[in-house]
Structure 1
Amino acid sequence: MDDKIHPNYKIAAYLIFAAIGVDLINGFIQKQNNPAFDITVLAEVSLMFLTFGYFAFIGKEWIKWVLLLATILTIFPVVAALNQPANNLNLLYASQFFSSLLKFSAFTLLSLASMKK
């Protein structure tokens, strides 16, 4: 079964896992800066993307469309950051942008891969 999975699916899974790591770091930074930040939302979103990474790792073709939708929804905080003056942009927004870039790169790799080698 493993030999039928395109190598891009494994790379995309690792990109998703890296994006989760960045998101977790963002959450802990945000928790320190804003005590009202709900850490359970961070845990739920991280578990959701871990599931996406797992399905990409085992080669499910449909995951690219789910990942695209989820990536589009996670870009909204980055768009909100663009409305701020340049001197107010901080590490949190830069890392959110990097996380979204990792997720979109995973979608691109999944889109370029066919299920057959």
Structure 2
Amino acid sequence: MVHCNFLSIMDDQIHPNYKPAAYLIFAAIAVDLINGFIQKGTNPDFDMVTLAEVSLMFLTFGYFAFIGKDWIKWVILLATILTIFPIVAALNQKANQLNILYISQFFSSLLKFSSFIILSLVPKKN
């Protein structure tokens, strides 16, 4: 009797780098959410709706990385580059003015960029 499990067949076709990249994206979302709740406590003008929208967007990216879509690495790279702009603005501040929010934004961007690097190591499909 032959037992065929669709999920195991699907897992065999996906390069092993996709799952760690997805987990890095999910970790970056967690850092962003924690950062957002900290900002909401210190800045009443902080918009939680925007945080939720960006988090959902990156959850979607993580899902596509998890299922092995090759094109997602370029989307992640573009989104990571766009999220780095607040960090660049923070670097113009004096070192003693940098706070935990900017450090966590940097860490989140580092996680996202690391996922791009891992996805870039996947060989091209013929």
Q: TM-score, normalised to structure 1's length?
A: 0.97
In structure 2, what residue type is equivalent to 1:22?
V
1:39 is aligned to 48
Q: Which ranges in structure 2 are unaligned for 5 or more consecutive residues?
A: 1-9
Paired residue for 2:82, among 73, 82, 94? 73
Paired residue for 2:16, among 7, 30, 43? 7
**Identity of counterpart residues, as a percentage?**
81
In structure 2, what residue type is equivalent to 1:15?
L
Helix, strand or coil at the partner of 1:72: helix
Residues 12-63 of structure 1 deviation map (CA, whole Å, 9 limit, x = unaligned): 0000000000000010011011001110000000000000000000000000
Whole-Å separation in 1 of the counterparts to 2:27 and 2:94: 29
The higher-RCO structure (CA 8 Å, 6+ apart) is: 1
Q: CA RMSD in A?
A: 0.9
In structure 2, what residue type is equivalent to 1:105?
S
Q: Which runs of 4+ in 1 moved over 2 A?
A: none
Q: Quick check: 1:50 aligned with 2:59? A: yes
Paired residue for 2:103, among 94, 99, 105? 94
The answer as to whether partners of 1:5 and 1:115 remain within 8 angstroms in 2 is: no
2:7 is aligned to none
Whole-Å separation in 2 of the counterparts to 1:57 and 1:47: 15
The answer as to whether partners of 1:6 and 1:115 remain within 8 angstroms in 2 is: no
In structure 1, what residue type is equivalent to 2:18?
Y
Q: Which protein is bigger by CA-based radius of gyration?
A: 2
Residues 74-113 of structure 1 deviation map (CA, whole Å, 9 limit, x = unaligned): 0011101100000000100000000000000000000111
Q: TM-score, normalised to structure 2's length?
A: 0.90
Whole-Å separation in 1 of the counterparts to 2:45 and 2:124: 44
Residue correspondences, number:
116
